[in-house]
Amino acid sequence: MATNESVSIFSSASLAVEYVDSLLPENPLQEPFKNAWNYMLNNYTKFQIATWGSLIVHEALYFLFCLPGFLFQFIPYMKKYKIQK
């Protein structure tokens, strides 16, 4: 009984997603990203993708979050909040 209910819920959700997708304009970046993803899957192992991908994401987020603090030290208004010379 539960599987029939979940199947009907998933089919309803799938129909809703297809309907909303039909209303949205075509994404111009979809094809280049799809080609890049397929190239990556064909030329590298999943281990390499996971290892280097997680390293790149980690480093990008780290430096992105450090950027405001780095820039604040050059704003004259923020100098009164500095605790070191």
> Per-residue confidence at 35, pLDDT binned at 50, 70, 90?
very high
State pTM to two decimals. Answer: 0.52
Q: Give the residue ranges of DSSP H helices in 1-85.
A: 2-23, 30-43, 46-72
> Per-residue confidence at 9, pLDDT binned at 50, 70, 90?
confident
Weakest-pLDDT range from 8-12, 43-47, 52-56, 74-78: 8-12
**In angstroms, rounded to a whole number, what is the distance separating the alpha carbons of residues 3 and 57?**
38
